[in-house]
Amino acid sequence: MAGLHIKRGDTVTVVSGKERGKRGKVLLVFPARGRVIVEKVNMIKKHQRPTQKLRQGGIIEREGSLHLSTVMVICPKCDRPARTGVQLLAEGKKVRVCKRCSEIVDKA
Ligand SMILES: [Zn+2]
């Protein structure tokens, strides 16, 4: 399997489904499940039962996971969803680059 194209901290946009067009920062990646949690995207209401820690039960809102195939990294230069490729730097480090403009998508 090729490496994941999405990493924690990426700014991504949703490209399909009801959340299409929304942007946010990747908070969590679940590689085994092929899913990601994106900040403020796909908010779901969840019934929270009272617990020892949280005495007050009720409805809480939190991010629901999205399938990896429905999100794409936003290229900081194009400011558009970008297909990414991998480029090997001189130091032997691999970085993801935008296939459109070759801008490095990874943050240092
Ligand atoms: Zn680009």
Tens digits of per-residue pLDDT, 15-51? 999 999 999 999 999 999 999 999 999 999 988 888 8
Q: What CA dihedral angle connects 20, 24, 29 and 33, to 10 degrees?
A: -10
**How far away, in angstroms, is 14 Cα from ligand 1 center?**
17
User: Tell me, what's the pLDDT at 5?
Assistant: 83
Q: What does the radius of gyration of the chain's CA atoms come to, in whole angstroms?
A: 17
d(CA 33, CA 6): 13
Percent of the chain at pLDDT exceeding 90: 75
Residues with CB under 5 A from ligand 1 (ion): 75, 77-78, 98, 100-101, 103
Token pair recorded at residue 24 = 């946010």
DSSP state for residue 68 in the 8-state scheme:
G
Between CA 102 and CA 105 the distance in angstroms is: 9
For residue 24, the CA-to-ligand 1 centroid distance in Å is 18
For ligand 1, the distance from its centroid to the CA atom of residue 43, given in whole angstroms, is 28
Distance 77 CA to ligand 1 centre (A): 5
